Structure 1
Amino acid sequence: MNGYRLIIACTAVISCAVAAFPEGAPPAHTGAKNQQDCSSCHFAGPEPSTQSGLRLLPLTESITPGSTLELTLVLLDPESRVGGFQAMVEDGRWKAAAGQQVVTYKDIEYLTHTHPVASKPHESGEQQTTFVLIWQIPDAFNTCSTLYAAAVAADDDDSPLGDTAYTLSASLCLEEIEK
């Protein structure tokens, strides 16, 4: 029986640099083509380290079109106290987990936080903020889709100052595997 494995290829960018958005980012701030990212409102944060950044990890190895897939979005930053995010994917839909909402804007679904998520110490010495993304893969999905995400490492002072924004672009491709 054939199955599929998800192959993820990511490109991450740090946006260093008007108000904070604790209830979720306004739509269209993922850093995707022709979109701003979180650095349009959040800036003047600490200098990122070589460990800092945004990463996307799959939680399962084998998937099938028409199923849901949990992905983990991991934000590492030297001084983050809380974090928030927004994500969009070219194909499929989002399912909101606890503390998240799906917002549709100009026929595009965005997944975002509904309140900041606390950061925790990471073994690298960074602060880590983790978000679970639940992607509903289309029934007819058989190639690749691009996921765009932006996240803010914030100092939890309810202002946009002292925050650092990160972006990520990931190709989500299915590869047929023998089971």
Structure 2
Amino acid sequence: MKVSPLPVAALLGGALLAAGSGLTAGPAVHPEAPPPGHTGGFGEPSCEICHAEYIVNAPGGELLIQGLPDEWSEGAAYLLTVTLRSEEMEAAGFQLSARHADGRGAGVFEPVDDRVSITDHDGPVGRVSYAAQTREGAAVPDPSVVSWHLRWIAPSGGGEVRLHAAANSGNGDNSPFGDLVYTTATVVPAATASR
């Protein structure tokens, strides 16, 4: 059972915030990946900028990034799995970034199948690679869990890497209403040789 929605004032505030930022509160349907810069990290909004009906990280769901090393090594490739657990999913999407502490992109992502796409975006401190679902990747074969697989190629130096992800558990009505948003963040230190 989904959690209670936020009060109407919160919904209107989210819609006004979205409108004031040049975004619209609806329809905000992105089956082929959200716009770059919606991971919830480094001052970015998450999917909640449009899907604001419920609290972020509501009970009953979670977002995980699996496959990360205890310490990353320069140029090494890591197979990652982004997993969203939620209730009553009819469609789902995500966005993931990897950055250094100053916000610069840290390495690159590569898709391993047609469920994930990669977009490079020039931001205030340089280029950042974003991984997200494709139209095929928005399909949910199991209404309680969905996963996406990709490869992360670690950078060539720069210290710790911060990964931020946001995901949307959609109810399938092609609107920003009735959806749940989850976020997660993790920090991976560099191996001694990469520091």
TM-score bin (small chain): 0.7 to 0.9
Residue 63 of structure 1 and its aligned partner are, at CA, apart by 6.4
Is 1:151–2:167 an aligned residue pair? yes
Alignment of 1:1-179 (within 5 A): 18=26, 19-44=28-53, 50-58=59-67, 64-90=73-99, 91-98=106-113, 99-106=115-122, 107-115=127-135, 116-120=138-142, 127-140=144-157, 143-174=159-190
More strand per residue: 1 or 2? 1
Amino acid at match of 1:92: G
Q: Give the unaligned 5+ runs of structure 2.
A: 7-25, 100-105
Residue 47 of structure 1 and its aligned partner are, at CA, apart by 9.5
Does the 8 A contact of 2:36 with 2:121 survive in 1?
yes
Residue 172 of structure 1 and its aligned partner are, at CA, apart by 1.7
Cα deviation digits, residues 82-110 of structure 1 (max 9, x gap): 21001110111111232222112222211
The runs of at least 4 consecutive aligned structure 1 residues that moved more than 3 Å come to 45-51, 59-64
What percentage of residue pairs aligned between the two structures are identical? 25
Secondary structure class of the residue paired with 1:39: helix
Ranked by relative contact order (alpha carbons within 8 Å, sequence separation 6 or more), the top structure is 1
Residue 129 of structure 1 and its aligned partner are, at CA, apart by 1.2
Q: Which residue of 1 aligns with 2:14?
A: none
Residue 61 of structure 1 and its aligned partner are, at CA, apart by 7.7
Residue 81 of structure 1 and its aligned partner are, at CA, apart by 2.0
Please give the TM-score of this superposition, normalised by the length of structure 1: 0.75
Does the 8 A contact of 2:63 with 2:83 survive in 1?
yes
Q: Give the unaligned 5+ runs of structure 1.
A: 1-15, 122-126
Distance 2:31 2:62 in 1: 21
Pair 1:109–1:63, CA change in 2 (3 A): closer
